[in-house]
Chain A
């Protein structure tokens, strides 16, 4: 079983709509979470990180972390066609020593003009 699971696998939203992506960890030791975004033909780029319970907002993007339920989400308001990409949730833990980043399998977001 993957330690970081994402849902849904794919998501379509209309331009201007809200996109909500979910990520659940099966390892309670994971304390630090990132969202990475990958446009077609490019490498993943870090979108935002979240390390504390609650919300973190950066422009149109809001991440929410609930460590008790091992759940992190990403909400994109006013979605734009340029937001169409593969979104990865990633997590790491201090106790691993190597701080290895574990990635989920991704959510493919399509924003329809």
Chain B
């Protein structure tokens, strides 16, 4: 089964601080995604990437940056964390375009105080 590993599993950050969430996949998938989960909103796409050294904006990119230094690794960066960014963040990967299944990691619970 496809493997997507996220770190850390949980993090507490201070308002205005910098936060980096990491994601590593061993599936040899081209596409990687960052989603945010909030109660009542389901999963919303923040950024995605289809090739190393390139990232694309999703539906809610404001306040977030992404980095894809290699096919296996995809990071989500909050330069100035805010209270509203408290949420659970999921990384996912899929083989390519088309009607392909997404494979999710176990998530990172971020609390901004």
Contact of A105 with B by CB under 8 A: yes
Which of B4, B44, B100, B102 has most A Cβ within 10 Å?
A: B102
For chains A and B in complex, what number of residue pairs have CB atoms within 8 angstroms?
51
Q: Chain A: which residue is nearest B102 at the CB level?
A: A101
Contact of A69 with B by CB under 8 A: no
Q: How far is the CA of A101 from the CA of B100 in the complex (A)?
A: 10
Taking a contact as CB atoms under 8 Å apart, the answer to whether B102 and A98 are in contact is no
With contact pairs A43-B90, A43-B106 given, residues A49 and B42 touching in the complex (Cβ less than 8 Å): no
Contact of B74 with A by CB under 8 A: no
Taking a contact as CB atoms under 8 Å apart, the answer to whether A98 and B56 are in contact is yes
Taking a contact as CB atoms under 8 Å apart, the answer to whether A44 and B90 are in contact is yes
Within 8 A of B (CB), among A83-107: 88, 92, 94, 98-101, 103-106
Taking a contact as CB atoms under 8 Å apart, the answer to whether A99 and B101 are in contact is no
The residue from B44, B45, B48, B104 contacting A44, defined by CB atoms under 8 A apart: B104
Q: How far is the CA of A91 from the CA of B35 in the complex (A)?
A: 15
Interface size classification for chain A: 20 to 34
In the complex, what residues of B have CB within 8 A of residue A36's CB? 102
Contact of A51 with B by CB under 8 A: yes
In the complex, what residues of B have CB within 8 A of residue A98's CB? 48, 56, 97
B18 CB, min distance to chain A CBs, angstroms: 25
B interface residues, Cβ below 8 angstroms from A? 4, 35, 40-45, 48, 56, 58, 90, 92, 97-107
Q: Top 3 closest A-B pairs, CB basis? A: A43-B104, A105-B42, A103-B43
9 contacts between A and B (CB under 8 A): A42-B107, A43-B90, A45-B104, A46-B102, A46-B103, A98-B56, A101-B45, A104-B42, A105-B41
